[in-house]
Amino acid sequence: MNKKQKNLEKLRNADVYPVLSPGFTKGKDLISVMEELAECKPHIVQLRMKNESEKEIYAMACEFRRICERNGILLIVNDRPDIALEAGADGVHLGQDDRPFEAVAKFADKLIIGVSTHSLEEALEAQEKEVDYINIGPIYETATKSLPMKSLGVGKILEIKPHLKIPFSVMGGIKMRHISELVAAGAEMIAMVTEITEAEDIKGRFREIRRNIQDKNS
């Protein structure tokens, strides 16, 4: 089993998927947030930096890589497969307006490649292209990302999941109170931003979310 296969196995076991982004930490340093989370041993985290320079994104990705490597955590870099490769990350997450999966796969086939989808059609297209996982969202209204579409609602998970043979995450405005209905709809990997990164007690909040997912899945 090669490294990517091992990483995909870890991805399939993921429950909470923290997404760390500047401006959504209530003033906390992003690296200190990552260090706190690392103590909880998430299976996977994503670094999402939309407005920073290439130099800043690369430097942060390298710092995250060191923390993740020490703690056995998969590191996904948003949007930038080149930086993901250069920093030694495990994967990249692409939006619908980013470089096409086919182009990225040509030079980054050793990376886990995830793709954001907003409909059954997009999900099926991504699966047909053999992406490693998809994200379905935004499930609820979100203030962390500007999107042209309205929130999809939990019903979209029920519509898409029966057609999927690959792992998927759900994202968008997700709070603790939503865990029960998300798990009931079939979500297993739940991506969250502010509910974790803006919590007063980041470690406590992460562990509470993980317990809730595991309890609802048991």
For every residue of 75-92, DSSP letters joined together read EEEES-HHHHHHHT-SEE
pLDDT of residue 142: 86
Q: What confidence tens digit (pLDDT) does each residue in 161-210 have?
A: 999 999 999 999 999 999 999 999 999 999 999 999 999 999 999 999 99
Q: What percent of the chain stands above pLDDT 70?
A: 98
Q: What local confidence, expressed as pLDDT, does residue 146 receive?
A: 65
Residue 35 CB burial class (10 angstroms; 0-12, 13-18, ≥19) = middle
46 neighbors 76 (Cβ within 8 angstroms): yes
**pLDDT of 148:** 66
- Domain hosting 205: range is 3-217
Which pLDDT band, with edges at 50, 70 and 90, does 217 fall under? confident
| Residue 137 pLDDT | 97
pLDDT tens digits along 104-155: 999 999 999 999 999 999 999 999 999 999 999 999 998 776 666 789 999 9
77 pLDDT higher than 80: yes
Helical H segments across the chain, by residue range: 3-12, 30-38, 54-71, 81-87, 101-107, 120-128, 155-160, 179-184, 194-197, 202-217
Average pLDDT for the chain: 96
Residue predicted with more confidence, 77 or 148: 77
Distances in whole angstroms, Cα of residue 122 to Cα of each of 45, 97, 104, 134, 164: 23, 12, 17, 9, 12
Q: Which residue has the tokens 């595991």?
A: 214
Residue 31 pLDDT > 80, yes or no? yes
State the total domains in the chain.
Answer: 1
The verdict on pTM exceeding 0.75 is: yes
Alpha carbon dihedral 6, 7, 13, 14, in 10-degree steps, equals: 170
pLDDT at 169: 98
**Residue 215's pLDDT band (cuts 50, 70, 90):** confident
pLDDT of residue 22 exceeding 90, the answer is yes
Q: What is the CATH number of the domain that holds 53?
A: 3.20.20.70
- Residue of 212, 187, 184 lying closest to 137 (CA atoms): 187
| Lookup: tokens for 181 | 């209905």
| Nearest residue to 117 (alpha-carbon basis) of 197, 172, 44, 195 | 172
DSSP 119: S
Q: CA 150, CA 89: separation in Å to the nearest integer?
A: 32
